[in-house]
Structure 1
Amino acid sequence: MKKIVILAIALLLSLATAGLVRAESRTVYVYNWTEYIPEGVIERFTEETGIKVVYTTYESNEAMYAKLKVLDSTGFDVIFPSSYFVSKMGKEGMLMPIDKSKLNNFKNLDDRQLNHSFDPANRYSVPYTWGGTGILVNPEQVGPAPEKWADLWDSRFKGTLLLQDDLREVFGMALKKLGYSLNDTDPEHIREAYEDLVKLMPSVRTFNSDSPKVPFLNEEVYAGMIWNGEAHVAMEEMDSLRFVWPAEGAILWMDCLCIPAGAKNVDEAHAFIDFLLRPDVAATMVREWGYATPNKAAMALLDEATRNDPAIFPPLSVMEKSEFQNDIGEAVTVYEQYWNKLKANQ
Structure 2
Amino acid sequence: MSISRRKFLRQTAYVTSALAGASSLSACGIFDKDPQGNESAKEDAPRPVTQDKQTLYIYGWSTYINNQEVLEGFTKETGIKVVGDAYDSNEVMLAKLEASGGRSGYSIIYPSDYMVTQMRDKKLLAPLNKKLLPNISNIASNYLDLPHDRGAVFSIPVSLGTTGLAYNVKAVNSIIGEEPTDWSYLWEHKSKLRITLVNDPREVMGMALHILGHSYNTKEPDKIEKAFQKLRELMPAIANFTTDAWRDPLSSGDLMICMAFSGDAISLARQDPNIKYILPNSGTSIWTDTMAIPRGASNIEGAHAWINYVMKPEVAAKISDANSFGTTNKIAKSMIPDDLKAIKALEPTEGMIKLSDRITKLDPEVLQIYEGFWTRLTTGLG
The one-letter code matched in structure 1 to 2:220 is: D
The one-letter code matched in structure 1 to 2:369 is: V
Q: Is 2:187 aligned against 1:157?
A: no
Which residue, out of 266, 283, 306, partners 1:249?
283
5 Å-filtered alignment, 1:1-346, equals 22=52, 26-32=55-61, 40-48=69-77, 49-58=79-88, 60-62=89-91, 64-65=93-94, 68-69=97-98, 74=104, 76-142=106-172, 143=175, 144-153=178-187, 154-158=190-194, 160-161=195-196, 163-209=197-243, 213=247, 216-217=250-251, 221-302=255-336, 309-329=343-363, 331-343=366-378
Distance 1:92 1:134 in 2: 32
Distance 1:77 1:344 in 2: 42
Structure with higher Rg: it is 1
Name the stretch that deviates more: 49-58 or 271-280: 49-58
The Cα offsets for residues 276-318 of structure 1, whole Å up to 9 and x where unpaired, read as: 1111011223334332221123234357886574221223442
Q: How big is the alpha-carbon RMSD for the aligned residues of Structure 1 and Structure 2?
A: 3.3
Q: Helix, strand or coil for the counterpart of 1:229?
A: helix
Contact kept in structure 1, 2:116 and 2:148, CA below 8 Å: yes
Listed as ranges, the gaps of 5+ residues in structure 2 are 1-50
Contact kept in structure 1, 2:198 and 2:241, CA below 8 Å: yes
Name the stretch that deviates more: 268-277 or 115-124: 268-277
Match of 1:13 in 2: none
**1:185 CA displacement:** 1.8
**1:137 CA displacement:** 0.6
The Cα offsets for residues 214-241 of structure 1, whole Å up to 9 and x where unpaired, read as: 6645766432112233322211111111
Question: What TM-score do the two structures reach when normalised by structure 1?
Answer: 0.78
| Pair 43,199 (structure 1): closer, same or farther in 2 beyond 3 Å | farther
Contact kept in structure 2, 1:114 and 1:121, CA below 8 Å: yes
The one-letter code matched in structure 1 to 2:355 is: K
Distance 1:56 1:265 in 2: 19
Say which structure is richer in helix: 1
| Pair 275,61 (structure 1): closer, same or farther in 2 beyond 3 Å | same
Name the stretch that deviates more: 274-283 or 103-112: 103-112
Distance 1:132 1:146 in 2: 17
**1:188 CA displacement:** 1.7
Name the stretch that deviates more: 261-270 or 146-155: 261-270
**1:201 CA displacement:** 4.4
| Pair 237,309 (structure 1): closer, same or farther in 2 beyond 3 Å | closer
**1:128 CA displacement:** 0.5
Contact kept in structure 2, 1:152 and 1:224, CA below 8 Å: no
Contact kept in structure 2, 1:134 and 1:250, CA below 8 Å: yes
**1:126 CA displacement:** 0.4
Distance 1:152 1:261 in 2: 45
Listed as ranges, the gaps of 5+ residues in structure 1 are 1-20
Contact kept in structure 1, 2:313 and 2:335, CA below 8 Å: yes
Q: Helix, strand or coil for the counterpart of 2:61?
A: strand
Residue identity over aligned pairs, in percent, reads: 30
Distance 2:359 2:62 in 1: 17
Q: How many residues matched?
A: 322
